[in-house]
Structure 1
Amino acid sequence: MPVTHDCHLDPCCTDSGIAKILETIPLESIKAKPPAQKRHERVYTNNIPRSELLKLLEDPDGDVWIALHEIEDTPILRHVFREMASALRESLPAPYGKVTLCTGSLFISRGQATTPYHLDYGSNLLLQLRGSKHFLAFSPNDPELVPKQSLQEFFGGECNPPSLKYRPSFDQKALILDLEPGMGLYMPSTSPHCTETRTRELSLTISLSFVAPRVDVLRRSILFDARLPDFTFVPVAMKCAVVAFYENLLHALGGNEPRHKSFKPLAH
Structure 2
Amino acid sequence: MIQFQPSSSYRGDLGKEPTIVVHDCHGEGLFSNKNLIRLLNSVSPEKIKTKIPSQKWQEVFNTRKISPPELVELFDSDDNDCWIVLHEIENTPMLRRLFLEMAAALTSSLPPTYGQVKLCTGSLFISRGAATTPFHMDYGSNLLLQLRGNKRFLAFSPNDPELVSKQSLREFFGGDANPPSLKYDPAFDTKALILNLEPGLGLYMPSTSPHCTETRDHDLSVTISLSFVCPLADRIRRSALFDRKLPRLRFLPDGLKYGVATCYEMLRQTRGDYHPRHESFKPLVS
Residue 51 of structure 1: how far off its partner (Å): 2.0
| 1:33 to 2:51 alignment | yes
State the match for 1:237 in structure 2.
255
State the match for 1:7 in structure 2.
25
Q: Counterpart of 1:224 in 2: which secondary structure?
A: helix
Mapped to 1, the partners of 2:251 and 2:80 lie a distance apart of: 54
Residue 115 of structure 1: how far off its partner (Å): 0.2
Pairwise mapping of residues 100-115 of structure 1 onto structure 2 (< 5 A)?
A: 100-115=118-133
Deviations 1:25-45 (A, max 9, x none): 001100000001000001111
Give the aligned residue type for 1:186. Y
Residue 170 of structure 1: how far off its partner (Å): 0.8
Mapped to 2, the partners of 1:171 and 1:2 lie a distance apart of: 17
Deviations 1:149-199 (A, max 9, x none): 111010000111111111111111110000000000000000000000011
Q: Counterpart of 1:199 in 2: which secondary structure?
A: coil
For residue 39 of structure 2, the aligned residue among 13, 16, 21 is: 21
| 1:65 to 2:83 alignment | yes
State the match for 2:68 in structure 1.
50
| 1:172 to 2:190 alignment | yes
Q: TM-score, normalization: structure 2? A: 0.92
Give the aligned residue type for 2:57. R
State which drifts further: 77-86 or 232-241: 232-241
Residue 55 of structure 1: how far off its partner (Å): 1.0
Unaligned 5+ runs, structure 2: 1-18
Is the CA contact (8 Å cut-off) linking 2:154 and 2:211 kept in structure 1? yes
Pairwise mapping of residues 1-268 of structure 1 onto structure 2 (< 5 A)?
A: 1-268=19-286
Mapped to 2, the partners of 1:225 and 1:69 lie a distance apart of: 30
Residue 255 of structure 1: how far off its partner (Å): 1.9
Residue 247 of structure 1: how far off its partner (Å): 1.1
Give the aligned residue type for 2:90. E
Is the CA contact (8 Å cut-off) linking 2:174 and 2:240 kept in structure 1? no
Mapped to 1, the partners of 2:171 and 2:258 lie a distance apart of: 18
Deviations 1:178-233 (A, max 9, x none): 00000000000000000000111100000000000000111111222232233334
Q: TM-score, normalization: structure 1? A: 0.98
RMSD: 1.0
Mapped to 2, the partners of 1:252 and 1:50 lie a distance apart of: 40
Residue 20 of structure 1: how far off its partner (Å): 1.3
Mapped to 1, the partners of 2:270 and 2:83 lie a distance apart of: 39
Give the aligned residue type for 1:6. D
Deviations 1:49-102 (A, max 9, x none): 122111111110110000000000111011110000000000000000000100
Give the aligned residue type for 1:250. R
Unaligned 5+ runs, structure 1: none
Give the aligned residue type for 1:45. T
Residue 260 of structure 1: how far off its partner (Å): 2.1
Is the CA contact (8 Å cut-off) linking 2:145 and 2:203 kept in structure 1? yes
Task: Give structure 1 regions of 4+ aligned residues with deviation exceeding 6 angstroms.
Answer: none
Residue 241 of structure 1: how far off its partner (Å): 1.2
